[in-house]
Structure 1
Amino acid sequence: MKEEEFQELLKKLDGKKISRIFLSKLSENINIDHLRHLRAGKPEAVLAEFKTKEEVVEIAKNAIEENRPILFTRLNEEQMVELDKLSLNINRKARTARYLKLHENTGKVAIFSAGSSDACVAEEAKETAEFLGLQVLKFYDVGVAGIHRLIEPLEILSEEDVDSIIVVAGMEGALPSVIAGVVDLPVIAVPTSVGYGTNLGGITTLFSMLQSCSSGVTVVNIDNGFGAAVFAYLISRRIRKKP
């Protein structure tokens, strides 16, 4: 169901309560929640990781037919090849694909990543943020092992009207605390599964970020660039709702 059709249906109901959520059923296993962005302020993204190539293609073709923005995350190479044939915007490092944008000019976010190994998660955040209409400033490979690398990005940031900062880091996860200690912006910390043995697949980094000494830091799940970008978008959206 398209947004216009939904709005028309609401008018016809003449104020009566709707007792069910409208879903578009593509197959026995797939129900697309087209109107989530109207109901909850954020879109449904298609997690492709556990879907077949055929299911992903079916969802994409449906979106293209309806000229409806859509975002795919955690794609494998075979899925990306098929979506590339449909002319979706593919980011192989992020493992994402998107068709159109859900919004335009919703705000601005800065994304920092500690090391080049964290870039895939940072890119997932970037693609999601841009899909949601955010302008993105990228500062990659600026971790605390070479802390002098933060000087120029922080100078640039002081001249930009940024609503929030996403900080992606693995290892001991110190970068969000460092940045939050010198800026007056919300910091969204993203732990990654990058690190040696006692990193424990990102659990050590997650715990470290949750124990941040700097205030103003919120933490999303391990490798969750998508969730960080949605949170940043909701901050920007709220700012722009003010009279």
Structure 2
Amino acid sequence: MPLYRRSLCQLGRECSRHSLIQSRFVTRKPLLPFRLCQHRHISCSGTKLNSQSPDEILSAFANLDHSRVKRAGFPEAVFGQGKTPSQIHLILDSMANNVNEMIDAASESDGIVNSASTAIIATRIDKSVYDEVLEIGPLKYGIMQYHETAKILSVRANALNDVNGNERTDLQFSTTQKSVVVACAGTTDLPVAEEAALTLSLSGIQVTRVYDCGVAGLHRILTALPKLRDPSVGCVLVCAGMDGALPSVVGGLVDVPVVAIPTSVGYGVSLGGISALLTMLNSCSPGVGVVNVDNGFGGAVWAMKCLR
């Protein structure tokens, strides 16, 4: 039953003299929909609306780890799955504000900014969720961009641009000179591969993509050997589902660390990526490490740490 309809017994004794038949036509003043309340960042209690600041609302459900990049080498990312559009909006804006403050501090000293520290990423964001985030309005401290294949919502902090909206030229970005190859066995592995590739590129790492090169057509990965063995490459990420054999093949062809990312692609007993995971864990090629199923983001961060 909608919130704005109530039986006479719920409305009070003064209505008890009316019949039960009449009661279903008695209405109360409609309440604002809960989603609207989320978008306006206000709390609803009956018909009373209590205004709260964004920081007050954020502190009720999130305790952001802004110093993680200093400890772990990569900033906190937002796992979007299960979060409301309002929560995602508030978290990303707070993260953008923190990056702005970090850039301002750097510009007042040596002007050197760690590229990875500017990465503001929310993963597992469906298009429908992104549309709802947009409905809330633009961020105050950054500009959002949606990457549909990877299901990543990234934010570019305002302080990275000048007053005209152009990229600032007075900042220097520190990053590794090594690059990463992201390979995937099939086209259906693209979402996971793109999650990894975008996480790397948004962190200032040069990425080379080698897609649809699975072992069913072994000549394809052999054709890509010049890219895999380029002297600038410091790590190779390999995404594969089904039998998960590609990382072992790549591991036997390159002299850099290989990060294997099993995907949930496959039929029947592939068990949502478990069979690929077990194959990769049992790889006979030394130097192959494995992350969780479909964890492109985790694989990308591991690769960045390998480059250090």
**Shared fold (TM-score, shorter chain, > 0.5):** yes
In 2: Cα distance, 1:174 partner to 1:167 partner: 10
Q: Tell me the SS of whatever aligns to 1:122.
A: helix
The separation in 1 between residues aligned to 2:89 and 2:174, in whole angstroms, is 26
Q: What's the C-alpha RMSD, in Å, of the aligned pairs?
A: 2.0
* 1:186 and 2:257 matched: yes
Q: Determine helix, strand or coil for the equivalent of 1:230.
A: helix
Q: Secondary structure at the match of 1:190?
A: strand
User: Which stretch shows the higher mean deviation, 153-162 or 88-97?
Assistant: 153-162
Matches for 1:196-235 after TM superposition, within 5 Å: 196-235=267-306
Partner in structure 2 of residue 51 of structure 1: 83
- Of 20, 38, 60, the residue aligned with 1:28 is 60
TM-score (norm 2): 0.65
3-state DSSP of counterpart to 1:43:
coil
| CA deviation profile, 1:38-77 (whole Å, cap 9, x unmatched) | 1222211100101001101111222344445411001122
Aligned partner of 2:144 among 80, 88, 94: 88
For the pair 1:109 / 2:180, whether they are aligned, the reply is yes
Residue type of the alignment partner of 1:95: K
Which structure has the larger Rg? 2
Cα drift, residue 159 of structure 1 = 3.1
Q: Deviations over 1:165-190 (max 9, x none)?
A: 00000000000000101111100000
State how far apart, in whole Å, the 2-side matches of 1:94 and 1:114 are. Answer: 16
- Unmatched runs of 5 consecutive residues or more in structure 2: 1-54, 101-117, 161-172
5 Å matches for 1:113-192? 113-192=184-263
CA contact (8 A) 2:85 2:130 kept: no
TM-score of the two chains, using structure 1 as the length reference: 0.82
Q: Whole-Å Cα distance in 2 between the matches of residues 61 and 122 of structure 1? A: 27
Aligned to 1:79: 129
Deviation at 1:104, TM superposition (A): 5.1
Counterpart residue number, 1:97: 153
1:113–1:226: structure 2 CA closer, same or farther, 3 Å change rule?
same
- Measured after TM superposition, the shift of residue 128 of structure 1 is 0.9
How many residue pairs are counted as aligned between the two chains?
214
Structure-1 separation of matches of 2:74 and 2:98: 19
Deviates more, 1:120-129 or 1:68-77: 68-77
Q: Is the 8 A contact 2:66 2:95 kept in 1?
A: no
Percent of matched pairs sharing the same residue: 44
